[in-house]
Amino acid sequence: QVQLQESGPGLVRPSETLSLTCTVSGASINTYYWSWIRQPPGMRLEWIGYINYSGNTNYNPSLKSRVTISLDTSKNQFSLNLSSVTAADTALYYCARGSFYMLMWGPGTLVTVSS
Amino acid sequence: EIVLTQSPGTLSLSPGERATLSCRASQSVSSSYLTWYQQSPGQAPRLLIFGASSRATGIPDRFRGSGSGTDFTLTISRLEPEDFVVYYCQQYGSSPITFGQGTRLEIK
């Protein structure tokens, strides 16, 4: 059974880089597509982007200039980096298996951007 | 980008009743690339329906998705107590992928 778990700092300072990792168990990161989605408080879900088993990525144009998603096959993990964060980036961040639709989600991790 | 509008925002029904949830797109969703998720409090979303009408693995047949173009519907035929949570639609017919704002199903 595939399981995903997000990890990373719960507090990030404005203008810094938000970095999260998703650890995958029950499946190899070298198969499937893997995504990041976020949900700001009281707002709808927002797709951030995805990466495939070859390392090819596709990002939301609204975030593309600040986002990097990468794979670490040695640890069976994939990561999200979001640069130059502001309070608007405060959200519950989810990692998921899938690209166009998400078959399995992690429990999510709350990231707050504040000084 | 395609904007998805779900209605109603909150739906009050009783167990055993039928629920009809709507998702309307600002432009046509190509190839019916429309998905429905269910989210319980404090939990991650769970995939219910993809391709507008295909049930995901393990989803009971009381959940049915339908629609095409700009109008899509999730029907839950006989509400169980665990069904009273939040439902989201999502389109993947054009980039960027976008989500609806959600419909909350509450016990009347």
Closest residue of chain A to B40, computed from CA coordinates? A107
CB pairs under 8 A between A and B: 44
Nearest residue, CB atoms, B96 vs list A44, A47, A101:
A47
Contacts of A101 in chain B (CB under 8 A): 35, 47, 50, 90, 92
Instruction: Report yes or no: B87 at the A interface, CB cutoff 8 Å.
Output: no
Number of other CB atoms surrounding residue B96 within 10 Å: 19
pLDDT band at B12 (very low <50, low <70, confident <90, very high): very high
Task: Render pLDDT for B35-59 as a digit per residue (tens, 0 to 9).
Answer: 999 999 989 999 999 999 999 999 9
**Contact at 8 Å (CB) between A20 and A107?**
no
The answer to whether B99 contacts A103, with C-beta atoms less than 8 Å apart, is: no
> Could you give the CA distance from residue A28 to residue A48 in angstroms, rounded to a whole number?
22
Contacts of B100 in chain A (CB under 8 A): 44
The answer to whether A107 contacts B44, with C-beta atoms less than 8 Å apart, is: yes
Write down the pLDDT at residue B32: 87
| Backbone Cα Rg of chain B | 13
- Block mean pLDDT (10 aa), chain A, length 115: 95 98 95 95 95 95 97 96 98 96 96 97
Can you read off the two tokens belonging to residue A113? 């951007």
The answer to whether B97 contacts A100, with C-beta atoms less than 8 Å apart, is: yes
> Could you give the CA distance from residue A64 to residue A36 in angstroms, rounded to a whole number?
13
